[in-house]
Amino acid sequence: MNCYDESHGHFANQGGYKGWRRCIELMARLKAAKPGLFIQGFYGTKNFGLWGLKNVDQHEVYNEQSIIVSTRHNQISDDRQNADGLRFQNLWSMRFRFSPAVMGHALTHRVSEGGFDPELINAWDYYGWQYGVMSSLAVAGTVMPTILPYETDSVPGYVEFYMKWHRWARDNFEYVNTTEPFGEQVQPGAVDGYARIKGDRGFVFLFNGNPRSSEITLEVGDEINLQARGDYQFAELYPSERNKLVVDNNGRSVFALGEKASITVPANGCYLLELKKVTKQSKPVLVGGAGEVALAGGRLAVTGVEGKPGDRARIRVRVADLKAVQSVTVNGIPQKFTRTEREICLELQFAGAKYVRELDAWTQADGKRFAFPYHAAQPELKLTTTFKLNADVRRLLQSARPKNFAEMDAKIAGWQTPEGKRNPSYSYHNFICARPSRLWLIIPFLTPTGVEATLNGEKVDPLRWDDPSSSAFADLTDRVKYNEENDITLSIKGMAPNRFMGPFLLYPEEAATDRVLRTPGQTDNPVRYTRALVPAPRPRYGKGEGPKVIEAKMMGNVTLREGAELRVKLDLPPEKIRRVMFFESGFPWMGQHGLGYSPACQCWTALVTPGNRAFIQENEYIYVWAEGTDGLRSEYYPVKVGWDFVGH
C-alpha cells in the first residue's frame, strides 16, 4: 500500500520509488551491521536488474518460474518442464545480468501457482525428479524443493539421492562461481552445457531436453574456460555414478587442450562429467564402460560391464604394450578387437531384445520413410509404424505402482480430464509421470499441431493435449498387445517445418544385463538430433552495417503530468527502416516502445510519458535504436531526459 502523506516528500499514492530506495539503503545498513547476514531476493528485486540485486546474496531465477507465466519447453514430465525453465532463466541471469551462478536460488520439482490442493504432494513425478535436482546443481548456488513427497520412502532412492548430491555439492562448492554456460541455450533440438573449471580440473553438466538423443560438440579449451595445457579425459559421475571414462562419438577418450569432443546425451537426460588430466597408469585402464580389467598371459579380461538389453557400447582399454594383448573377453565372452595408437578397441552389444520406446520408423502413404526431426512443412500427413512391446513391460508397470496407488491413482486420473483441469490446482500440469504404472504414448511437436491416432485399427480416444509441452498423449496400458505386433497410424494436419519431434512410449526402465553377444548384430540407426529445430536468427549487427542514428533529442522536459516529444533522425529513408525503438527503465514498466515516422518533421517521433511516478527508476537516459528492413540494427544511442519533478 502506498503512502498518501505528501509531507514525506512524495506525491500522494506515488511514493513507491522512495520506498524502493529506502529498502535498498536498509539492506546495505543491515549487511554493514551484520556481515554474515544472508539475504534472498525474490520477484520484487530481481526484476529490476543489477541495481535490484544490490546487497542481495541470492535470487530466484530471471523472472518467474511457474509454468503459468514462465518459459515453456517440450517436456512431458512436469519436473523436467520446470527444470528446463530453471536452466533457461539462470543462463539469462548469468549472461544478461552478469550475476554469478552462486546467486541463483533453484526452485526444484513441480512448481504450482494460483491454487494448491494439499493432495498435490501425493502426486510425485517419478520420471523427472532426478533431472530436476541435477539441473539445480548445474546453474545455482542452492537447491530448494518446492514440493516434497508425502512420505519419502514412497519414492525409491529419494533420501539417498539427495544426501549423495548434497554432499557432492558441498564438497565442490568452490567451483560454483566458475560456472560457464556453453553450447546452445535451452531450446528444442539442442544440448545446453555448464562447465565449472579451476586450473586443470572441473566438472561439465550436459542436458538434453529432447525426446531423442542429441549431439553436442564442445572444445576442450576456451569454450569451457579451460586454459591449462595437457591431455584430458572425462569421467561420468551421473547417471552411471561409477566414474566411467567417456568415449566420444568419434571413438576418442583423450583430448589435448583445444581439441573437440563430440558427445551424445540420451533422450530427456543429463550427464555430469568430471574433467581431469590423463595420468600414466601401469595397469590397463577401462574406458567406455564401468567394470574391471586385467591382462595376464596375453589375455585381456574385462568383467562387470553392464548395459540395457540390445544396447551397443564402445569399449576401449588403454594398455602400456598393445602387442601384449592376444585375445579379449568381456564378461567371459570372446570378442573381436582392433588396435589404435593408444588403445584396444571393442564394439560391444548386450544380449536380449531391445525394449521399444522411441518410435522412429514412420512410413508415409506412398511407402517412403518419413525423416525427422528436420523436415519440410506438411499440410496433411498420414504416418504408420509398427512395434512389438516386450512381454516383460507388464511386470515393469505392475512393479512401478506407487505406495499410495490404491488411494491416489484414480484421483490423479481425474485431474487429467477436462473436468479436472477446471480446478486451478491441476490446470497446467499433466501428471503423466505421477502414474508410472500406466503405459503412455507421447506425441510431441515443436508447436501446437493437429493430430489423431489409431492403434491396431481403433481410434485412440481420448487423445489428450498438453499445452505447455505441445504434446498429445494417451494411456495405452489396456489397449496395446504385449509380445505381439502393434500398428499406430497418425493423421496430422497443418504441420510446419521441423515440428515432428518423435513419438515415444513411456514406461519404467528395464534392468541392466551383463550378458553380451559374441558378435554385435546390425544397428537400428536411431534418430538423433544434431542441431536446434528453430533456425538461428539472422545477425543483428555487422561492423559498419545497418542504420545509424544521426541525432536523437528530447524536445522538452517530462513533467509529472505531461510528456515530451522524442525526435530521432536516421541515415536511411523510412522505406528502408523496419522499426525505431527506445528502451526505458521503469515508467510505467520496464520495456521498449516504438516511434513513428513524421513526414512533417522528416524524422521519427514518440511521446515520452511520465507514467506512474512510483515506478520511475533512477536513470536519466533512454536508449534509441533502429532496425533496417534487412534485420540489421544500429548501435544504441543514449538520450538524456529532463525529469521535471522539482522537490520530489
DSSP-derived secondary structure for 430-487:
--GGG-TTS-EEEEEBSS--EEEEEETTEE----EEETTTTEEEEE-TTTSPBTSEEE
pLDDT of residue 616 exceeding 60, the answer is no
pLDDT for the residue 372: 97
CA-closest candidate to residue 477, choices 455, 510, 444, 457: 455
pLDDT in tens, 390-415: 999 999 999 999 999 999 999 999 99
pLDDT in tens, 223-257: 999 999 999 999 999 999 888 999 999 999 999 99
pLDDT in tens, 514-544: 999 999 998 778 999 999 999 888 899 988 8
**CB-based contacts of 643: which residues, under 8 Å, 6+ apart?**
557, 558, 610, 616, 620
| CA–CA distance, 449 with 451 (Å, rounded to integer) | 6
First to last CA, the chain: 19
Contact by Cβ (8 Å): 289, 236: no
Question: Which three cell numbers, joined as nine digits, stand for 82?
Answer: 520446470
The phi and psi torsions of 371 (rounded to 5 degrees) equal -90, 135
3-class state of residue 339 by DSSP = strand
pLDDT in tens, 489-500: 999 999 999 999
- Encode 468-477: b = buried (16+ Cβ within 10 Å), e = exposed: bbbbbbbbbe
Q: Give CA angle at 140 (110, 61), nearest 5°.
A: 60
**CB-based contacts of 108: which residues, under 8 Å, 6+ apart?**
82, 83, 86, 132, 133, 135, 136, 143, 144, 145, 146
CA distances from 8 to 3, 34, 645, 648 (A): 9, 29, 15, 10
**CB-based contacts of 222: which residues, under 8 Å, 6+ apart?**
258
Percent with pLDDT over 90 in the chain: 75
pLDDT in tens, 327-378: 999 999 999 999 998 899 999 999 999 999 999 999 999 999 999 999 999 9
For residues 267 and 622, which has the higher predicted lDDT (pLDDT)? 267
CA 267, 268, 274, 277 torsion-angle sign: positive
What domains appear along the chain, each with residue ranges and CATH number? 6-178 (no CATH), 211-349 (2.60.390.10), 363-401+436-506 (2.60.120.260), 549-644 (2.60.40.10)
pLDDT for the residue 648: 43
**Secondary structure (H, E, C), 556-586:** CCEECCCCEEEEEEECCCHHHEEEEEEEECC
pTM (two decimals): 0.92
| CA–CA distance, 612 with 427 (Å, rounded to integer) | 34
The CB density around residue 594, as the number of other CB atoms within 10 Å, is: 10
- Across all residues in the chain, what is the average pLDDT? 91
Confidence of residue 423 (pLDDT cuts 50, 70, 90): confident
pLDDT of residue 617 exceeding 60, the answer is no
Question: Which three cell numbers, joined as nine digits, stand for 486?
Answer: 502393434
pLDDT in tens, 437-488: 999 999 999 999 999 999 999 999 999 999 999 999 999 999 999 999 999 9
pLDDT for the residue 647: 44
Q: Could you tell me whether strands 260-265 and 564-570 are parallel, antiparallel, or unpaired per DSSP bridges?
A: unpaired
Q: Give CA angle at 583 (573, 538), nearest 5°.
A: 60
